[in-house]
Structure 1
Amino acid sequence: MKRGQHIFGVIVAVAVLAGLASLLGNDYYLRIVFMMCVYYLCAAGMNVLVGYAGQKSLGQAGLFAAGAYAVALITTRTEINPWLALSLAAVVSGICGVLIALPSLRVKGPYLAMVTLAFGIVVEKLVGEWTDVFGGAQGIYGIKPLTWSGQPLTSLQWVWLGIVLCAVTHLLLRNLLQGRFGRALLSLQADEIASSSVGVRVYRAKVIAFVVAAVTCGIAGALVAQQNQYINSDFITFHLSIFILLLVLFGGAGSQYGPLVGTVVLTVIDAALARWPSAQHFLYGFLLLFALYVMPGGVTGLLSKWFRRSIPASDESSASAAPTRIGPQGEGELLVAQGVTKNFGGVRPAQNVSFRLQRGHIHALIGPNGAGKSTMINMLTGLLDPSEGSIKFLGQEVSSRPVHAICRMGMGRTFQNLRLFADLSVLDNVMLGRHTRMTNGFLASLFALPSARKQEAATRARALQLLDLVGLLHLAYQPAGSLPYGLQRRVELARALATEPQLLLLDEPAAGLNPQETAELGDLLVRIGKCGVTILMVEHHMDLVMSISDHVIVLDYGIKIAEGKPAEVQANPRVVEAYLGVDEPEEALVAT
C-alpha cells in the first residue's frame, strides 16, 4: 500500500474507533480500551527492539517506571504544564534507554536478557524502598492530569488521546522501519558481521532500538500516572515486563501489525482473568512458551504466508538499463599492504606479506588450504587487526578502522561461507548494501521527509539495476534464503556491489558452483571489472583464476611465495611445489 493510501486508512480507522468509543457509556470498558492503547505503545516500541533488532529485553517495567515517576515528580514538585511534563517524561525515558543500552550491548543472547532483567529489578526495588523520593507502596498522589480547555480529560477523552497517540506511533515507526533504519535493524538480527560489512554501525543501531523502545514505554507509563493521578510501586513488577514481551511475541515479532494483534487479544484476556491473578500468570507463561516454540512468527506470522509479492511492472522498467559505472575511473595503486603479519598465539597465518593492487585490474590471491588467504581478506576489511605491518587504501591507513568505516571508504566484500540475510527479500539484501551511501538521518526517516523518500527511491532503483546486472531481477521479492546456492552467491555479490566499492574482495566466490555456474561467474566478474571495480578474489578454481585474472599473488603457510601474471605464476617452481609437492630423491627412498 502506498504511503498516502496508508495514512488515509489510518485516519479513517482513528475516526471509526473514536466513534465506537463514544458509544461506550461504561467507564470500565473505556478503561480497558485506554489500557489497550497504553499496552500498544509499549509493544510497538518493544517490537523495534525485539522483533527487528533481535535484542531480548526483560527490563521494560523499569522504563515504564521511568516515564511514570518522571511525570509524577515533575508535576507534583513544579508548576510545569502537564503536557510539557509528558514530553519531558519521554525524554527521561529515552535517556534511561541509553543508560541501559550501554552496558547491555556488551553482552549477547541470554546474558543480554539477564542484564535488562537486572535493570528492571533494580528499578522495582528503588521505587519500592526509596520512600522519601518515590513514596514506596504508598506512592505519589496529586499528579496533575492532562487538561483540555482548562479541564481534566474525561475517560472518553483519554481514550481518544490514546487512539491518536497509537496512530501517530504506528505511522512514525512505519516510516522508520520500512526504510534505511528498518533494514539495518533486521540485518543485526540476522548477522552482525555481514551487517557491519555493508556499512551498518552495529552498536549505534542497537542503541537507537533501545531508545525507541524506552521512549514509547515511558510515554505509556506517564499516561497511566497522569490518568490515575497516582502511581506506586505496585504498578512496577516483573510481571509487566513479561506481559509486554508477550504482547510482541504472541502478535508476531518483526511484523508492524503484530503488536496490535497481541495487544487487543491479550488485553481482553487480561481483563477477563482480572479476578484470578494466579490464572493470569499461568496463562501468560503458557502463551509465552507457546509463542516461542510452537508459533515463533506469532499470529501475524501464520497469516503472512498467504501473501506473496510479485515484482511490479514499474520495477521492471526502472531496472531496464543495467549500470555502466560503479567505481570511479582512474589509474595507479589502490591498495598497498606492507609487511602484514598476523599472530594467533604460536600460529602465524600471515608472515610479512606485501603486495600492491592496481586500479582496474582483477587480482587473484591463491594458495593451498591453510595458506592464510581468508585471514588476509579479513585484515584488509577490518574484521581482524594485523599484528604488524601497514594496510593503506586510497592512501589512508585502514588497519585500525572499524569495518563499517572501511566499507564507507569504498571496500566491499563477500564471504567464504555465505552471510546473506536469509529471511529478507533479495531486493532488501541489495538495498542494505546501499546503507552507507544513504545520507538520510534518523529524524528524516522517522518523519518521512522528502529527502528521505528521495533517498529511498534512488536506493531502490539502484538495487534493481544491480539485480538486473547479476540476472536476478525476476527474483527480487523472493526470500534470499530460499534461492539455490549458486543464486545466493549472486545475491551476495550484488549486495557487495551496492556498497559502491572501488575495491571488491571476493572470498571463494565459485565455492560450491558447478562448471557452468563457474564459467558464468567468470563472465560476470569481467563485466563488473569493466564497470570500474577493482577485484581481489580468493579462489581455488585455477581455470577461473587463470582465465580472468590480470595479476596473481600466491601464499603458502602465510608467506608470499610468488606474484605476477597468471602464466608466470603458473610456471613458478615454488607454486608447483606448494600445490603438488615434490618427489623425494630416489636415494632417500632406497635408504628407507
Structure 2
Amino acid sequence: MSQYKHLLGIIAFAALVGLIPLVTDNGFYLKVLFLIGVNYLAAAGLNVLVGYAGQKSLGHAGLFAVGAYTAALLTAKLGWNPWLAFVAAGVMAAVFGVVIALPALRVKGPALAMVTIGFGVVVEKVVSEWQDVFAGQQGIYGVLPLTFGGEPLDARQWVWVVLALGIAAHLMLRFLLRGKYGRAFMAVNTAEVAAESVGVSVYKYKVLAFVISAVTCGFAGALITQQNQYINSDFITFNLSVFFLLIVLFGGRSVYGPLLGAVVLTLLDAFLARWPGVQHFTYGALLLFALYAMPNGLSGALSALFRRVRWYDRRAVGPERAPIAPWRSHVQSDALASGEVLLRTQGLYKAYGGVVPTNNLDIEIQSGHVHSLIGPNGAGKTTLLNILSGIVPPSKGSIEFRGKSIVGRPVYRICNMGLGRTFQNLKLFADMSVIDNVKVGLHQHIRTGFWPYLLGLPAASRDEAKATAESLEILQFLGLQEHARALAGSLPYGLQRRVELARALATRPTLLLLDEPAAGLNPQETAELVEVIRSIRDLGITILLIEHHMDLVMAISDHVIVLDYGEKIAEGVPLAVQSNPRVIAAYLGTDDDDEGDAVPHPAPAASRGPVGLGESHV
C-alpha cells in the first residue's frame, strides 16, 4: 500500500512541476526550476555519502567539475553526441569518485573532510592553470546542448529533462536505500566494528557511497555546462562544495531531504544573489543551524511534526505476517557433528608494548558445546575474542576455524565463514528498527546484487521478503517479535542485549562468541538468558562466552577455560575448574606465607576480579 501511495505522490508531483513551464514563459522562473533540479541531483547522491554512510565531504565541487569538463571537452573539442557525452560525464565522475575514495577512506572525521577539500582545491587549480586544455577563466565555448528531435532543448524542455532525471534518481535511490544497501550504509555510519562483525565490508560500502555521490554530481555538472553551452574555472569554487553539503545537512537524512534542501536553498540563493556578502553569511548561519539546532534536518523536523498531528500504526509486526523462513534449517545444516574441533589456536600471542593480554594460548573449541572463558579483570578475555573475530590481529600464533586459517582475514570474511559475536559494550544500530538490525545480520545471505536493488527489480523484492520472514523467525525465537518495529535504541537495556544476540544469530553462525551477555541484566533476565543459551546450543550452534556470573557459567558450560594475565591456567569441566587451586588463587589471591599451597584469603579484598569464584554477580 505504501508503494502505491508513493507512486501516486510521484505522479502528482511530476504533473504539478511539469505544468509550470506550460503556464509561464518567464526565463528567470524556468532557470530557477532548472537549478533546483540540478542541485537536487548533486545533493541526492551526496546524501548517500553524508547522510547514510556518515562520510563528510567538502570536495564535491571537484566532482562537479569532472562532469562539467568531460561534457564540454567531448562535445566542443571532439564533436561527441551530447547525450553520449552526458552519460560519459557520469562515468568519468564515478572513476574519480573511486580515485578520491581509496586514499580518503584511510582516515576519518575531520581528516577525511580535509582530504576531500584537498581534492577540490587540486581540481580547481588544474582547470584554472592548465590553459591549453581547460582554458581557465576564458572557458570553453561551443559546448553542444542536449537535443530532442535534432533540435537543442529550449528553456521549458530543460525543466522537463531535469525533472525526469530527478524523478529517476529519486526512485532508484529510494529502491536502493530501502533495502540491504541502505541498511549497510547506516550500519557503517553507526558502528563500523559492529557492521564488519555481521558481514558488511565497511571499506566496500564507503567506496560505493563515494561513487554514487560522484555520479550524480557529475551529471549535475554536465547539465549546467550543456545548458549554458559554456564552462570556465569560475564555476568551480570551494563555496560550491559548501553549498552542496549545506543542501544535504539542511534537508536531512531522508530520500526527501535533498529535495527540500534544494528547493529552499536554491530559492534563497536566487533571492540573495545581488548581495554576495549577505549570501555567504547566510550560508554560514544556515550551516550552523543545520548542524546544531536541527540535527535531523528539515525532513526530520517535518517528520516529527507529522508524528504529533496524526496517528501512526505502532502495532508490532508478528510472525504471522510472513511465512516462517528456514532459519533453523540453515543453522542446523551448517553445524558440524558434535565433538569435532571447530576452532583451534596454537601459540597465540598479543602484546601492547610491555602489556601481554594474550600469552601463547593453545585452545580448542569443540562443536556442539558451550565453552566459557573466565578469569579476573584484566586477564585478556575480551582481547582473545577480538583476536578470534579478526578485530585485533595477533602478534604471532595460528588460528584455524573449520580447518582454515583466519589470521589476517578481514572481520567480515571471518563472519561469512560462520563466526558471529556480540560485544561487552553494546554496539547496536540504535537509530534503526529492531527488525532492520536483524536484517543487517542477514546481509551476507541476501544474494541479490546492486543493480536489481537500484532498479527495483522483483528479485530484490523477493529477497527482502525472505529476509523479513527470517528476521521475524529469529525475533520470535528470542521473544522479541512484539518489538520488531521499535527503534533498537529505545528499548530497555535487557531487551537491547537480546536484540544484539538476535543480530548475531542472523549471521547463521556455527560458532557464536558472547562477550559478557549477562552484564547489566537483573536476576530474572539472567535466568532467562540461561534458557536462551541452551536453546541456541540445541540448534547446533557452538558457543564461547565470557562471563562473570559464575552461577550462569556453572549452569550451562560443558567446558571452562580460565585465563590469568593472558595465560591459560586451567581448563576442564566446571566442577573441576571451580575447585582448582590455581583458579582460586587467581580470583582470591594467596597468603604470602603459603603461596605454594594456594590457600585463599578469607576476605575477597585481594581479588582482582569483580566476584569470587562461585559467586553470583548481579
Residue 483 to residue 322, structure 1, CA distance change in 2 (3 Å)? farther
Residue number in structure 2 paired with 1:246: 246
CA positional deviation for 1:310: 2.2
State the AA in 1 paired with 2:46.
Answer: M
Q: Distance in 1 between matches of 2:315 and 2:232?
A: 54
Q: Determine helix, strand or coil for the equivalent of 2:83.
A: helix
CA positional deviation for 1:357: 1.1
Q: Distance in 2 between matches of 1:584 and 1:221?
A: 77
Deviations 1:138-186 (CA, angstroms, capped at 9, x unpaired):
1000000111111000100000000000000000000111111111111
Residue number in structure 2 paired with 1:531: 539
Residue number in structure 2 paired with 1:468: 476
State the AA in 2 paired with 1:281.
Answer: H
RMSD: 1.8
State the AA in 1 paired with 2:336.
Answer: G
State the AA in 1 paired with 2:246.
Answer: L
Residue number in structure 2 paired with 1:330: 336
CA positional deviation for 1:20: 2.4
Q: Distance in 1 between matches of 2:171 and 2:318?
A: 25
Residue number in structure 2 paired with 1:403: 411
Residue 119 to residue 586, structure 1, CA distance change in 2 (3 Å)? closer
Q: Distance in 1 between matches of 2:109 and 2:335?
A: 45
CA positional deviation for 1:311: 4.2
Residue 260 to residue 165, structure 1, CA distance change in 2 (3 Å)? same
Q: Distance in 1 between matches of 2:302 and 2:16?
A: 24
Residue number in structure 1 paired with 2:599: none
Residue number in structure 1 paired with 2:503: 495
* Conserved 8 A contact 1:311-1:476: no
Residue number in structure 1 paired with 2:231: 231
Residue number in structure 2 paired with 1:427: 435
Does residue 310 (structure 1) correspond to residue 279 (structure 2)? The answer is no
Map 1:115-264 → 2, pairs under 5 A: 115-252=115-252, 254-264=253-263
Residue number in structure 2 paired with 1:267: 266
Residue 161 to residue 345, structure 1, CA distance change in 2 (3 Å)? same
Does residue 49 (structure 1) correspond to residue 55 (structure 2)? The answer is no
Identify the match of residue 375 of structure 2 among 355, 367, 371: 367
CA positional deviation for 1:130: 1.4
* Conserved 8 A contact 1:40-1:263: yes
Residue 120 to residue 276, structure 1, CA distance change in 2 (3 Å)? same
Q: Determine helix, strand or coil for the equivalent of 2:362.
A: strand
Q: Distance in 1 between matches of 2:146 and 2:588?
A: 81
Deviations 1:176-218 (CA, angstroms, capped at 9, x unpaired):
1111111111111111111111111111100100010000010
State the AA in 2 paired with 1:117.
Answer: I
* Conserved 8 A contact 1:319-1:464: no
State the AA in 2 paired with 1:297.
Answer: N
Residue 345 to residue 125, structure 1, CA distance change in 2 (3 Å)? same
Q: Distance in 2 between matches of 1:313 and 1:528?
A: 23
Q: Determine helix, strand or coil for the equivalent of 1:500.
A: coil
State which drifts further: 152-161 or 309-318: 309-318
State the AA in 1 paired with 2:87.
Answer: S
Map 1:497-516 → 2, pairs under 5 A: 497-516=505-524
State which drifts further: 3-12 or 316-325: 316-325
Map 1:434-453 → 2, pairs under 5 A: 434-453=442-461
Q: Distance in 1 between matches of 2:579 and 2:346?
A: 26
Q: Determine helix, strand or coil for the equivalent of 2:400.
A: strand
CA positional deviation for 1:317: 3.2
State which drifts further: 12-21 or 192-201: 12-21
State which drifts further: 471-480 or 536-545: 471-480
Residue number in structure 1 paired with 2:466: 458
Q: Distance in 1 between matches of 2:552 and 2:595?
A: 39
State the AA in 2 paired with 1:348.
Answer: V
What is the aligned-residue identity percentage? 58
Residue number in structure 1 paired with 2:605: none
State which drifts further: 515-524 or 575-584: 575-584
Q: Determine helix, strand or coil for the equivalent of 2:294.
A: coil
State which drifts further: 524-533 or 299-308: 299-308
Deviations 1:69-125 (CA, angstroms, capped at 9, x unpaired):
000000012232110110001101111111111111111101111110111111112
Residue 168 to residue 584, structure 1, CA distance change in 2 (3 Å)? same
- State the number of aligned residues: 588
Q: Distance in 2 between matches of 1:452 and 1:396?
A: 32
State which drifts further: 407-416 or 6-15: 6-15
Q: Distance in 1 between matches of 2:389 and 2:15?
A: 53
Residue number in structure 1 paired with 2:293: 294
Does residue 417 (structure 1) correspond to residue 425 (structure 2)? The answer is yes
Q: Determine helix, strand or coil for the equivalent of 2:592.
A: coil
Q: Distance in 2 between matches of 1:176 and 1:8?
A: 20
Q: Distance in 2 between matches of 1:24 and 1:531?
A: 68
* Conserved 8 A contact 1:105-1:112: yes
State which drifts further: 545-554 or 297-306: 297-306
Residue 420 to residue 309, structure 1, CA distance change in 2 (3 Å)? farther
CA positional deviation for 1:324: 3.9
Q: Distance in 1 between matches of 2:410 and 2:326?
A: 32
* Conserved 8 A contact 2:104-2:115: yes
Q: Distance in 2 between matches of 1:416 and 1:500?
A: 20
CA positional deviation for 1:238: 1.0
TM-score, normalised by the number of residues in structure 2: 0.92
CA positional deviation for 1:321: 8.5
Does residue 547 (structure 1) correspond to residue 536 (structure 2)? The answer is no
CA positional deviation for 1:8: 4.1
Does residue 344 (structure 1) correspond to residue 352 (structure 2)? The answer is yes
Residue number in structure 2 paired with 1:113: 113
Residue 320 to residue 10, structure 1, CA distance change in 2 (3 Å)? same
CA positional deviation for 1:388: 1.8
| Unaligned ranges ≥5, structure 1 | none
* Conserved 8 A contact 2:318-2:481: no
* Conserved 8 A contact 1:420-1:492: yes
Q: Determine helix, strand or coil for the equivalent of 1:369.
A: coil
TM-score, normalised by the number of residues in structure 1: 0.96
Q: Distance in 2 between matches of 1:160 and 1:370?
A: 65
Residue 587 to residue 429, structure 1, CA distance change in 2 (3 Å)? closer
* Conserved 8 A contact 1:137-1:234: yes
CA positional deviation for 1:312: 5.8
Residue number in structure 2 paired with 1:381: 389
* Conserved 8 A contact 1:426-1:491: yes
Q: Distance in 2 between matches of 1:586 and 1:205?
A: 59
